[in-house]
Structure 1
């Protein structure tokens, strides 16, 4: 049955923590519906019945249709969701009950645990990884790349920096990145391996991108420049692809991938390394 397309539903992202989980899930769900452009309302730290009632009043008074996506750890607040004047997706409710039945253990209902410090060791690792990644962005501090879990290689503006930061912040990986410049690579008949990258073996992962997309990205940064010209981008892409092939560096085409997808595939490359 064909449903009428709703172009702008109001989506209230309600959480007793940061709201990141609710927003991530809701945005993922709405990617499955073309022609729908939700108005997002992120409402974090809803930790009392009074604040939740305020959310309901806002949803009822605002434009319709509307939807609440809730990640509430507190069982009493989850129970209050039945008073919502608009439909609710209760992310924790049914799933928590299923886990309780499976594990035979009652959930503790601690607010904000999903994105709190939680495991302090893991949290500290993420902070250390982020500091390392920031210090080793764009070829900086190449003398200690041996500490890196992964070193991303590719042309300037191919997504190396945001991917490195994502890997550090979400997975605690020491991720460095190094820009490949054709002038540096071409020294003789075989593409030259930059000094700082030697001996890193399976830690290297390459990012490739089509010249057209690379030129488009660069044009937004430096309009009408040689750096952004299609000819320059094409020459760089060809040289970098040759470099990856000669040195047998695993690489992936990021032309149509989001940062999250790139990071996931980089981790797949890491897991495929011998001895990983």
Structure 2
């Protein structure tokens, strides 16, 4: 909930509103100390619905902004009657795109986050099922189908990154955990992974950050102790070096940033 006096952001769309929300939240990261109220209004498909929203906006007393993604040109035209400032994503850019491409936009709602391309959608679902089946080394029989295999200690971000890659990019991503018992001085790469060297990537993290994450999961445990985290981080560094597996330091990276680096690493 927004603090008193904080702006209200209305996210308006004839689709899911995901694009409007993503853009709005991205832009607002540039304003420290701003804690707006968010009002998502998806699937606005009629003039009557939009008029009702305008009436609600007029009754507000706090500063407000509407961020809109309407594919329907009639609704974009109606936005001119909006009682608060509007960031109209489609109108601001479609005209220029039409000039560049030499053709008119089709004004079809919901294409960006609907099923759309059936083959691409099915690929994402298939990738997600693969990733769930290959989480934490659960299945290795068909791991050769993986496009990337992330390796790392527990709580280094392997699972959320794999799920993000599968859901957003349709990547067949698997992860293989390295537990303390696996990280002895003579540990070698498991036989199931030896043919995948070009697809292996190690995630490393600072012991301090790892301890913070684990403390939230198992407070006061040996698993979360700084000494244990230091030992595991050192052991995986040695393992990755010994096996010549590329590594990515994820200490200060979000899941989105890790996924982007993984894709860049794979070319």
Q: TM-score normalized by structure 2?
A: 0.95
1:34-79 Cα offsets, whole Å, 9 max, x none, are 1111211111101111111122222222241111011111111011
2:263 aligned with 1:267: yes
8 Å Cα contact 1:11/1:39 also seen in 2: yes
State how far apart, in whole Å, the 1-side matches of 2:221 and 2:58 are: 52
Q: Is the 8 A contact 1:10 1:63 kept in 2?
A: no
Conservation of the 8 A alpha-carbon contact between 1:206 and 1:244 = yes
Per the alignment, residue 40 of structure 2 pairs with 42
**Which secondary structure state, in structure 2, belongs to the residue aligned with residue 77 of structure 1?**
helix
Alignment partners' CA distance in 2, 1:265 and 1:63: 44
How far off is 1:186 after superposition? Answer: 1.4
1:141 matches 2:121: no
Q: What is the number of residues matched between the two proteins?
A: 264
C-alpha spacing 1:202/1:34, structure 2 compared with 1 (3 Å): same
Aligned to 1:66: 64
Distance 1:134 1:7 in 2: 44
Question: Which residue does 1:224 correspond to in 2?
Answer: 220
Shift of 1:19: 0.9
Distance 1:52 1:203, change over 3 A: same
Q: When the two structures are superposed, what TM-score results if normalisation uses the length of structure 1?
A: 0.92
Indicate which of 16, 19, 31 corresponds to 1:18: 16
| Displacement of 1:224 | 0.6
Give CA deviations for 1:3-41 in whole Å, capped at 9, x if unaligned: xxx972111111111111111111110111111112111
Distance 2:126 2:16 in 1: 22
* Deviation (angstroms), 1:103: 1.0
**Partner Cα separation in structure 2 for residue 236 and residue 7 of structure 1:** 48
Question: Does the 8 A contact of 1:7 with 1:37 survive in 2?
Answer: no
Number of the residue aligned with 1:194: 190
Q: 1:184 aligns with which of 170, 175, 182?
A: 182
Q: Structure 1: how far apart are the matches of 2:164 and 2:62?
A: 36
2:106 matched to 1:117?
no
When the two chains are superposed, the root-mean-square deviation of aligned CA atoms in Å is 1.3
Alignment pair present for 1:126 and 2:124: yes
Q: Distance in 2 between matches of 1:57 and 1:150?
A: 51
Any unmatched runs of 5+ in structure 2?
Answer: none
- Native 8 Å contact 2:5 2:63 kept in 1: no
SS for the counterpart of 2:142 is helix
C-alpha displacement at 1:182, in angstroms? 3.0
Matched with 1:234 is: 230
Residue 54 (1) aligns with residue 17 (2): no
Contact 2:156 2:250 in 1 (8 A): yes
Cα deviation 1:98-156 (Å, max 9, x = unaligned): 11111111111000001011111101100100010111111110121100011111111
CA distance in 2, matches of 1:175, 1:219: 27
> 1:206–1:7: structure 2 CA closer, same or farther, 3 Å change rule?
farther
Is residue 243 of structure 2 the alignment partner of residue 247 of structure 1?
A: yes
